[in-house]
Amino acid sequence: MPVATPSQYRDMLAKAKDGKYAFPAFNVTSTETANAVLLGLKEAKSDGIVQVSTGGAEFISGQGVKSMAKGAIALADYVHAMAASYEVTIALHTDHCAPKYLEGFVLPLIEETERRRKAGRPNLFNAHMFDGSELALEANVAKSVELLKRCAAVDIILEVETGVVGGEEDGHDTSGVPKDKLYTTPADMVAVHRALSPIGPYLLAATFGNVHGVYKPGNVQLKPTILRDGQAAIAAVFPGASAQLVFHGGSGSTLAEIHETLEYGVVKMNVDTDTQYAFTRAIADHMFKNYDGVLKVDGDVGNKKAYDPRNYLKKAEASMAARVKQACEDLRSAGKSVSAR
């Protein structure tokens, strides 16, 4: 199926919320990792999200270009081309764009979609994420309003964040922030909904102690009830209303914690660390088992079949695809694709 249209994606999110399941959003850094996501979603018969961060997009563009916007455009075009061959529905997101990266990342991508729309072409991305959590809430909301007005005009969903996701990702290190900043308040969620809901669809990454990366059990203190309380606060001010929520820093979470968040309106969960490991683990296994083939040891010639990148990258793709499938099962999206046959 082609990448979801704006209306198809809005419908996907609404069905996930009503059905208490979520779509996994997988950060990718190459065509190989994008292929792994597509394969895993196909095998799970699950719709899902291919996602690219600022650092991932710059990496995709290559060391000779190093452009976040160009890398993201190239990746999105590739996914548009490949997704048409898969019997699941794919959405495209950008991830964690701090205020300092807007001019080099999200804004050029919005401009690209505006150009494509004028030419009668589909949107490039379904959603963009603005991470204004480093700002005071008032400034975060004000910038989010500005961005959503522009996004809504071309049917793009804006994902925003209140509170801070701990840990480190793509050089953005928040490991030193005070612990109370790791928890969004009900008042924060009400303020975001009041400002954004009249403009257009939005996603809210409300934080409840989640941390990027994987930690041993007990090191991360998640409080999913924060999401429940925030939704209740929204409903108290806006009867019948609630937010569509995003679970960041989901790697390493227990299945019980994941399932609890689904009860409170989480419709998207980001997965990165676990799939990175699955991809690299297969390559490491190949290298250890074929050490004398991938290297020209003691003047020998090695084994071309062993050091041909296609050989070990196929294994990496299959290994990551298996982890993608597991994420779909964990989030209860497996078997629910609107287009799988």
Residue 128 φ/ψ, nearest 5 degrees: -125, 150
Q: Which of 91, 124, 90, 122 is nearest to 107 (CA)?
A: 124
| Residue 67, both tokens | 């452009």
d(C-alpha 299, C-alpha 216), whole Å: 44
d(C-alpha 126, C-alpha 4), whole Å: 8
| Residue 143, both tokens | 């910038």
Burial of 151 (C-beta count, 10 Å sphere; 0-12/13-18/19+)? buried
95 is catalytic: yes
d(C-alpha 181, C-alpha 166), whole Å: 9
**Kind and range of the H or E run holding 205:** strand 202-206
In DSSP notation, 178-189 reads: -GGGGB--HHHH
d(C-alpha 128, C-alpha 95), whole Å: 7
In the block, tokens 């399932």 appear at 259
In DSSP notation, 140-153 reads: HHHHHHHHHHHHHT
d(C-alpha 333, C-alpha 36), whole Å: 17
Q: In this structure, which amino acid lies at residue 73?
A: I
Among candidate residues 47, 95, 155, 170, the one labeled active-site is: 95
- Cite the active site residues: 95
